[in-house]
Amino acid sequence: MKTLPFLVFILICGCKPTSYFLSPNQVSRMKGVLFFRNDEKIAGEINISFEEDFNTDFDTKPIVKFIRDGKKEVENISLNDIAGYAIGSDFFALKKIDVYSNNIHRLLFVKRLTNPNSKIQLYELYESGRGNATGETNYSYHLSLPTSGFMETINSRSNSLMPFFDQKMSEIVSDCPSLSKKIRTREKGYFIPLVTLDIKKHPEVLLKIINEYNNCK
């Protein structure tokens, strides 16, 4: 019987830690590229564990654990130095996010849904349920406007856009009169109601508006 604990120890030691991508803010041992604010980018292994802090009033883990390709040492990278990271073709930007539209902002990684050169940027925050109050998955969408600071975003459900989406969004794109009119008159495909059961309504409408705004002459 004395050999049993030893065998368990051997089995545990022989198992490599698993890699997974639970959400943009809950990542373990995933190969990717870390983008720094000084325009440097480095390939390596990314580890992030922010989701369990979604219900707190403060950020408790202001670092990303990173192992550069070809190295073994774990580096604690400050969020002050990070612009985002990429895994495959997906880019996750580090932004100040008001998760629940309650004026509590935290630094989180959000998936960029728009072209890097888009005038208005749209980001998706996916929550796996690990850190929120209900344990359910959740999506929210966040915009960076031409007048926004580097880290600044607005939640598409916040009072910056809701209610009266037609009035507020048409004003944002007022330098494109034809598009602004479509939004203001609630033309089909250019309006988001205050209450909708379709979770994809926000990105569908916003991407349509953003793409047209980018091509406005």
Residue 88 scores a pLDDT above 90: yes
Longest Cα–Cα distance of the chain, Å, equals: 80
Task: Give the tens place of pLDDT for each residue, 165-192.
Answer: 999 999 999 999 999 999 999 999 999 9
Task: Give the tens place of pLDDT for each residue, 112-150.
Answer: 999 999 999 999 999 998 766 677 899 999 999 999 999
Range list of H helices, 41-85:
none
The token duo for 170 is: 């048409």
Residue 35 scores a pLDDT above 60: yes
CB contact at 8 A, 45 and 29: yes
Poorest-pLDDT segment among 8-22, 36-50, 54-68: 8-22
CA distance 129 to 170: 34
pLDDT averaged over the chain?
Answer: 88
Please tell me which residue, 176 or 6, carries the higher pLDDT value. 176
Give the model's confidence band at 52: pLDDT under 50 very low, under 70 low, under 90 confident, else very high. confident
CB contact at 8 A, 99 and 54: yes
CA-only gyration radius of the chain, Å = 21
Give the model's confidence band at 56: pLDDT under 50 very low, under 70 low, under 90 confident, else very high. low
pLDDT the model gives residue 135: 78
Residue 32 in 3-state DSSP?
strand
Global pTM value: 0.87
| HEC letters along 116-179 | CCCCCEEEEEEECCCCCCCCCCEEEEEEECCCCCCCCCEECCCCCCCCCHHHHHHHHCCCCHHH
Q: How far is CA 167 from CA 2, 116, 208, 212, in A?
A: 74, 27, 17, 18
